[in-house]
Amino acid sequence: MVHRVPLFLLFLTLAWLSPVANAEQESSAREKFRAGIQAFQAGNLQRARELLETAAEEISSRALTYNLGVVYYHLGEYDLARLRFESLLPTDQRALARYNLGLIALALENEAAAREAFIATLSEDPDEKLARLAAGQLKEIGQDIKEDNWQALFSLAAGYEENIALFPDSAATSLDDAFLESVNVLSGFPVRRGNHALQTQLLLYGRAYADYGDFDTYLARVNLAWAYLPKAFHYTLGLGGDQLWQGGNDREHRARVFTEYRKSGCFRAFGRDRCLVAVEAEQVDATERYRPYDGQRYRLNTSYKTRFGRWTGDLRYRVDYNDRRDLDTGTEYFSVSPLSQNLLFGLDYTVTPSWTIGASTHYEFRYYQTAHRLTIPEGLWIIHREDNRISWSINSEIEISRSFSVGFELEDVQNNSNIPRYDYDRRTATIDVTVRL
């Protein structure tokens, strides 16, 4: 069924984008431009096309490009209209262009493409009138996007890391090395009935260093959850397990229970922001070499993400409570059970529809609940360890296609502790390629 397309926006934007040419431009071209607008408003579409196409041969402007697209649309020349609107995607008029691409998709009875275009319109943080129009279209055709039963992500990165052993600043040497890193994720809904679904996730992660294999890390993760997916929010409750290897040897097994609540449109209309609250409890069973890490970890995780035009802000807060076995040598005692608080703020800027740059800063405070007992030349030092960790990163991502992207990240981490041996500075540079299916 072909949906009836409201024409209010099309006429409105003609007024918004009424052309004002530079003084140097031909007077005749300006007159043809104005005459083309008048012909369109009078309902003479063919005359409007002739005048605007003639003007386009002499001058170039986003207003002219947009109005030609509108005329082509009303004439049923959808391919020509699409080309005009797509040429506006790298500009500040991308939200308006995406909306009209959605109208073209509706005219061609492609509801999936139309839905995607209207959702993309809202993600651009448009003005209130355009947002209401896009939201109205989504309501008419059905806003819910049925998630693919299965999704996959494959990422391969190469990088270089300084101080992989986290030696203190006072150390005479540090271990630096190149590495390869891989992240592979498969997730989906093997069973889905209405708003209820069974959700599964498999993750395989690995980082291998060129020269220092003792620091190689590999992780296998499986999550299984019941998901409740109404229009207003998403809620999951599940179980999961991890297997962690380090240096080619088994390090620890983890079992957890978790719950998560996600919502779009938390504080802003039309789903232009997203928030998350998650709680997790985990049991850790470490091998003999890492026995002090036996115990439990409890986590509260919150995040808020929103977009204003080309800017995207990301704010996260996390609390971790650890209750581990710790290490008691008889003469010394080392706590590995911190209570930590984490705060992250990130900001991304969309330079073009396919190129994004960003930066983030992260602060973590760790308080170790059981006092360390350390032997020093002056005698026995008993102290509760406190760490202040500050990190920053810059990143960039280029989307080659909807499924393939290339990224770069540079990160610096500085840990300042009240026990000098735990002070360190670590820097990492990474280049990655990612495939999403």
DSSP readout, 3-37? Answer: PPPP-HHHHHHHHHT-----TTS-HHHHHHHHHHH
- pLDDT (tens, 9 = 90+) of the chain, 437 residues, equals 444 444 333 443 443 444 444 555 566 767 777 887 888 888 888 888 887 887 777 777 788 888 888 888 888 888 888 888 888 888 878 888 889 998 888 887 787 788 888 888 887 777 778 888 888 888 777 654 445 578 899 999 999 999 999 888 777 678 999 999 999 999 999 988 888 999 999 999 999 999 999 999 999 999 999 999 887 789 999 999 999 999 989 999 999 999 999 987 788 765 568 899 999 999 999 999 999 999 999 999 999 998 777 788 999 999 999 999 999 998 899 999 999 999 999 999 988 778 899 999 999 999 999 999 998 888 889 999 999 999 999 999 998 887 899 999 999 999 999 999 999 999 999 999 999 98
**pTM of the shown model:** 0.73
* Distance between CA atoms of residues 102 and 97, nearest Å: 9
Q: What angle do CA 316, 199, 250 make, to 5 degrees?
A: 75
Q: Which of 388, 383, 386, 387 is nearest to 333 (CA)?
A: 383
* Distance between CA atoms of residues 223 and 190, nearest Å: 13
**Distance in angstroms between the alpha carbons of the first and the last residue of the chain:** 30
- All domains of the chain in start order, with CATH: 8-141 (1.25.40.10), 150-436 (2.40.160.40)
Q: What angle do CA 23, 24, 27 make, to 5 degrees?
A: 75
Contact by Cβ (8 Å): 223, 214: no
Question: Residue 375 is encoded by which pair of tokens?
Answer: 């032997």
